[in-house]
Chains A and B, each alone.
Chain A
Amino acid sequence: MNRIRLFFRYGNIGYLFVLPAMLYMLALVGYPIVSNFILSVQDVTVTTLNAPVKPFVGLRNYRMLFADGVLQTSLVNTFVFTCCCIVFQFIIGFALALFFNRDFSFAKPIRGLLMIPWMIPMTVTALMFKFMFSSNVGIINQFLQSWGMIGQPIEWLLQPQLAMFSLIVANIWIGIPFNMILISTGLTTIPPELNEAAAIDGANKRQSFFYITLPMLKPVIESVLLLGFIYTFKVFDLVFVMTNGGPVNSTHLLSTYSYKLSFTLFKYSQGAATANILFIILFAVSVMYLRFVYDDKGAA
């Protein structure tokens, strides 16, 4: 007892504060991650879920998933979805950040209000876009038709590539405010004297953008892109509600495919294996992001 008191008295008192949160996270995040790995090398389905000893099958789940083929589709989809979303939400977000960085009375309130899409539950966003893209009542078809751009209504959510396109549009809408606000914050850290000095030296607006703004924003841009990748790569709700992977498994992401395996088909081990692949990719990117943030801090 005395030793315990002594341990906490000098310097180590920090542990006492951190311990409850640490234990909570270990039980509800650490343990599940480990058990997800174990699950993925066992054969657990709805019939063996209650068995005391679960059969060990090695990498069979992974082999079966690859043989089935939907896993590859979801893997490709996840990358396509993520890359398309990042590119467009970054460009639009950047443009808006530059625009709202100018000095006019509406700039701040409107920029603030534009954050709403990022805050609302993705389920609602998914419902909204499902409605707008619906083939018979969707406003998008109604507009296109009334302008005479299409004859027949387009079945946005019922054709694989168009469905993917619709998902990407919806997710870009969510991602724009996130990119905008982070880049806006980055812009405010650039001292205005730099641009003034450049202007005196005869630089035009384009030059000062490419030679001052962009280089100064480099760390912000890198972290926005990496974070955007992380957040987009793990999107679940949006796709689950809008298409649920359909038509015929063509728009599954790793997250929704894993959910389907576990909770529709009750192949828990295969679901866990799919989730593991998602985890490993995200973990690698997260480590990259963290190293980058730490390097940045070290330099500063």
Chain B
Amino acid sequence: MAYKRNSDTLNRITLCAVSLIVFAVLMFPLYWMLVTSFKKEIEIFQVPPTLFPSVLNTDSYFAQLKHGDFNMFGSFKNSFVISFCAMLISLVLAIPASYGIARFQFRGKRLCILSFLVTQMLPVSVLLTPMFILFKNLHLLNKQFSAILSDATIGIPFSVLILMSYFASIPKELEDASRIDGCNRFSAFLRVFLPIASPGVIVCAVFSFLYGWGDLAYGMTFLQDQKMRPITAGIFNFMGQYGTKWSYLTAFAVVTIIPVVLIFVFMQKYIISGLTSGAVKG
């Protein structure tokens, strides 16, 4: 018995060790990017490569602040504004829609669900050219509003489908009870259903924000002025201009993923639930 327990612990230690190796291998690209952003340009070219910067060099970050010929922080703000507004639109439209689908019967409901499902799988490329012409005719090109409007089209179907299952899982008796207590349909929705579905709302907020944050195609196509563009388009421009200045480029990339990592650290539970329910049920 004692022997068995020993081999069990040994087994677990091996598993932990293997999992650390797997982790190190898969995360290496991210580590490499981070390390490179703190290296001097000369060290990057060094053979054999150094796994850790010999001198911690923060110039790649601060150079952006000083001359700002390429304003990393300006485009960071743009990305934030665009993703946040797109998230708000998604939530404002998706919450009532998902509630309507989950709680009421109406003709064309199935078609409605199917069309949300299909839009979730649409490629961005199909919408780009016609949207470009549409926004051009509406004089929205080069205004951040165009990127906000188009980014929200990714968040809405996702949010509707996620929240639909949240609202559907709330027992009907709860609604009846709230009606008896004097709520009408709208206040029942606001005071009873919305609070219960709030974890779902957070999942949708997180994903809608991240969709906007990661978008390159819309932001780059509809916004021509670099001052307006989101950070992903900023990186792309920067690559065109300073193609081989890897210390600056990686610093730019690190700044881009900081919010993603922060959201991930604090909202991991929601992200994983969103991913699995969105994909398997969706």
**A interface residues with partner B (beta carbon < 8 Å):** 11-18, 20-22, 24-25, 28-29, 31-33, 35-36, 39, 44, 49, 96, 99-100, 102, 104-107, 110, 112-125, 127-132, 134, 136-137, 139, 142, 145-146, 173, 176, 178, 181-182, 185-186, 220, 223-224, 227, 230, 233-234, 236-237, 240-241, 254-255, 258-259, 262-263, 268, 271-272, 275-276, 278-279, 282-283, 286-287, 289-290, 293
Complex CA–CA separation, A11 to B108 (angstroms): 13
Complex CA–CA separation, A181 to B274 (angstroms): 11
Q: Known A100-B19, A114-B23, A220-B280; judge A132-B29 contact (CB<8 A).
A: yes
Contacts between the two chains (Cβ within 8 Å), count:
295
Chain B, residues 77-120, CB within 8 Å of chain A (1/0): the string is: 00000000000010001101101110111110100101111110
Query: Do the beta carbons of B105 and A11 come within 8 Å of each other?
Result: yes
9-residue interface stretch from B53-61, B63-71, B130-138, B173-181: B130-138
Give the residues in chain B near A142, CB-CB below 8 Å: 47-49
Give the residues in chain A near B44, CB-CB below 8 Å: 137
**B interface residues with partner A (beta carbon < 8 Å):** 12, 15-16, 18-20, 22-23, 26-27, 29-30, 32-33, 36, 44-45, 47-49, 89, 93-94, 96-97, 99-101, 103-107, 109, 112, 114-119, 121-134, 136, 149-150, 152-153, 156-157, 160, 185, 210, 213-217, 221, 232, 235-236, 239, 244, 246, 249-250, 253, 256-257, 260-261, 263-264, 268, 271-272, 275-276, 279-282
Query: Do the beta carbons of B99 and A17 come within 8 Å of each other?
Result: yes
Give the residues in chain A near B128, CB-CB below 8 Å: 258-259, 262-263, 271, 275
Q: What are the 9 closest A-B residue pairs judged by CB atoms, nearest first? A: A17-B100, A14-B104, A234-B123, A21-B97, A121-B214, A32-B130, A14-B106, A21-B93, A104-B15
Select from chain A the residue with minimum beta-carbon distance to B45.
A137
Q: Known A114-B23, A114-B26, A282-B121; judge A39-B249 contact (CB<8 A).
A: no
Contact pick for A115, options B119, B134, B264, CB 8 Å: B264
Query: Do the beta carbons of A185 and B104 come within 8 Å of each other?
Result: no
Q: Known A14-B106, A35-B133, A35-B134; judge A29-B127 contact (CB<8 A).
A: yes
Give the residues in chain A near B89, CB-CB below 8 Å: 24
Select from chain A the residue with minimum beta-carbon distance to B16.
A106
